[in-house]
């Protein structure tokens, strides 16, 4: 899912420039897009929470899922930070598993419509701007199904979330699926309204750290250190939010380089602490909420991609590291 306004790495050649550290003990390289939910990775890095357990974490920004997954498949990256529905599509191609939960969208994604629209059913037969193959489309499909509809009931106008918001505000499309800061902009300027946002669908758009299976096998202590550092960072965010957002903004950068912008964006996500991670990923022998979410992602990907996906919870989740060191 491309959640950025800017593309820092725009071609396959950029991938080759990444440090090849996937197999190096004591180091994990995690590719990711620019997204507020990944701020705790930078926070833990800056505060030394990874280092105190002997771990170095590299965080290359790759603003395209296909690119960071290709780098992960080739061993140039240890893993990636992305949504469950996004990475699931690549699981049949090579082995990786989610070892840590990062966040879920809790108001940060939304559907923009005209002021007089009161339900999704009113969009039947109309054009909706949404990024095909993205988490935005996965979420829209979920919303439509909850309301007795299918993707075929609307006309998809394929464009990025940023372009979708721009098209909606300009009056070129009657509806759009996008995220912050566009939702707040529409609310503030009253140029339409947010019909529904992701605060009404907790646990559907969920970001995780997914590491290659060989990395998990050969570097279990590093994985433990990663998870422990993330938990400490989430607690720091609860205890010192203003300082935490300043540190995150410096690390995440891009359109979130202003601490005020990052703080505003952070209101639309929930950072996962240990209890939330255990609820999502479960414990050994006891699957968590990821199991029905993965089932939903399989069904949606099969429908949207036109080919069957049968990735199991065990295929995609390794919950041995959810408990602290």
Does one domain contain both 44 and 119? no
Instruction: Give the range of the structural domain holding residue 192, as residue numbers without chain letter.
Output: 109-200
If asked whether residues 278 and 265 sit together in one domain, one would say yes
100 SS3 class? strand
Q: How many residues does the chain have?
A: 325
Residues 184 and 220 in one domain: no
Q: What pairs with residue 130 in β-bridges?
A: 158
Residues 66 and 212 grouped into a single domain = yes
User: Which of 175, 200, 225 marks a domain boundary?
Assistant: 200
Identify the residue with better confidence: 128 or 11: 128
Say yes or no: 270 and 213 in one domain.
yes
The total number of structural domains in the chain stands at 2
Q: Is position 322 within any domain?
A: no
Within a domain: 323? no
Give me the DSSP letters along 268-318. Answer: TEEE--HHHHHHHH-BTTB--THHHHHHHHHHHHHHHHTS-----HHHHB-
Task: Give residue 116's pLDDT.
Answer: 96
Give the residue, 161 or 18, on which the prediction is more confident.
161
The per-residue pLDDT for 2 is: 39
Residues 6+ apart with CB under 8 A from 197: 107, 108, 109, 110, 111, 183, 268
- The answer to whether residue 7 is domain-embedded is no
Q: How confident is the model at residue 323 (pLDDT cuts 50, 70, 90)?
A: confident
- Tell me the percentage of the chain whose pLDDT exceeds 90: 89
How high is the mean pLDDT of the chain? Answer: 92
Tell how many helices (H) and how many strands (E) occur in the chain: 14, 11
pTM, 2 dp: 0.90
State how beta strands 193-197 and 109-113 pair.
Answer: antiparallel
Beta bridge partners of 209: 81, 100
H or E stretch at 151: none
Q: Which residue, of 167, 200, 233, is where some domain finishes?
A: 200
**Are residues 149 and 52 part of one domain?**
no
Q: In this predicted structure, what is the pLDDT of residue 23?
A: 60
Same domain, 223 and 145: no
Give residue 24's pLDDT: 82
> What's the confidence (pLDDT) of residue 8?
31
Average pLDDT over residues 167-185: 95
Asked, for residue 115, whether it belongs to a domain, the answer is yes
Q: What mean pLDDT comes out for the span 3-22?
A: 39
Same domain, 92 and 218: yes
**DSSP symbol at 32:** B
197: tokens are 């946002």
pLDDT tens column, 42-83: 999 999 999 999 999 999 999 889 999 999 999 999 999 999
How far apart (Å, rounded) are the C-alpha atoms in residues 42 and 226? 12
Q: What token pair was written down for 214? A: 């060989």
State whether 32 and 86 are in the same domain. yes
Same domain? For 194 and 74 the reply is no
User: Which pairing describes strands 109-113 and 175-179: parallel, antiparallel, or unpaired?
Assistant: antiparallel
Decide if 82 is inside a domain: yes
CA 210 – CA 194 distance, rounded (Å): 32
Q: Which residues contact 302 (CB under 8 A, 6 or more apart)?
A: 308, 309
200, 223, 255: which is the final residue of a domain?
Answer: 200
Tell me whether residue 325 is in a domain.
Answer: no
Going by pLDDT thresholds of 50, 70 and 90, the confidence category of residue 16 is very low
Query: Residue 107, by phi and psi: left (phi above 0), alpha (psi -120 to 50) or beta?
Result: left
pLDDT in tens, 196-253: 999 999 999 999 999 999 999 999 999 999 999 999 999 999 999 999 999 999 999 9
Q: What is the pLDDT of residues 130-144, one digit of tens each?
A: 999 999 999 999 999
Contact 234, 273 (CB under 8 A): yes
**Structural domain contains residue 4:** no
For residues 142 and 285, state if they share a domain: no
- CATH number for the domain that contains residue 168: 3.40.190.10
How far is CA 249 from each of CA 100, 206, 241, 246, 269, rounded to the nearest angstrom?
22, 21, 12, 5, 15
Q: Is residue 33 part of a domain?
A: yes
Instruction: Give the burial string for 184-206 (b: 16+ CB within 10 Å, else e).
Output: bebeeeeebbbbbbbeebebbbb
- pLDDT band for position 12 (cuts 50, 70, 90): very low
Rg (CA), the chain: 19
pLDDT, tens digit, 9 for 90 and up, residues 263-320 = 999 999 999 999 999 999 999 999 999 999 999 999 999 999 999 999 999 999 999 9
Q: Are 187 and 114 contained in the same domain? A: yes
């Amino acid at each position: 899912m491309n959640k950025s306004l800017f593309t820092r790495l725009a071609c396959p050649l950029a991938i080759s420039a990444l440090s090849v550290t996937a197999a190096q003990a004591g180091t994990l390289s995690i590719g990711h897009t620019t997204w507020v939910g990944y701020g705790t990775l930078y926070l833990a890095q800056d505060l030394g929470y990874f280092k105190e357990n002997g771990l170095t974490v590299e965080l290359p920004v790759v603003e395209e899922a296909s690119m960071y997954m290709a780098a992960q498949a080739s061993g140039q990256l240890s893993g990636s930070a992305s949504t469950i529905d996004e990475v699931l599509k690549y699981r049949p191609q090579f082995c990786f598993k989610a070892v840590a939960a990062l966040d879920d969208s809790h108001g940060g994604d939304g559907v923009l419509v005209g002021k007089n629209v009161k339900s999704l059913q009113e969009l039947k037969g109309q054009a909706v701007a949404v990024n095909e193959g993205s988490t935005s489309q996965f979420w829209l499909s979920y919303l439509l199904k909850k309301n007795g509809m299918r993707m075929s009931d609307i006309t998809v106008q394929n464009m990025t979330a940023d372009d979708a918001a721009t098209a909606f505000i300009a009056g070129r499309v009657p509806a759009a699926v996008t995220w912050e800061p566009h939702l707040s902009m529409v609310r503030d300027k009253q140029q339409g309204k947010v019909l529904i946002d992701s605060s009404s669908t907790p646990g559907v758009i969920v970001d995780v750290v997914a590491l290659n299976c060989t990395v998990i096998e050969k570097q279990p202590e590093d994985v433990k250190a990663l998870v422990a550092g993330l938990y400490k960072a989430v607690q720091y965010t609860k205890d010192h939010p203003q300082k935490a957002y300043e540190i995150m903004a410096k690390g995440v950068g891009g359109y979130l380089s202003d601490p005020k912008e990052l703080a505003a964006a952070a209101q639309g996500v929930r950072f996962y602490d240990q209890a939330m991670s255990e609820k999502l990923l479960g414990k050994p022998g006891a699957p968590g909420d990821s199991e029905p979410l993965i089932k939903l992602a399989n069904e949606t990907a099969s429908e949207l991609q036109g080919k069957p996906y049968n990735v199991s919870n065990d295929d995609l989740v390794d919950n041995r590291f959810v408990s602290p060191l």
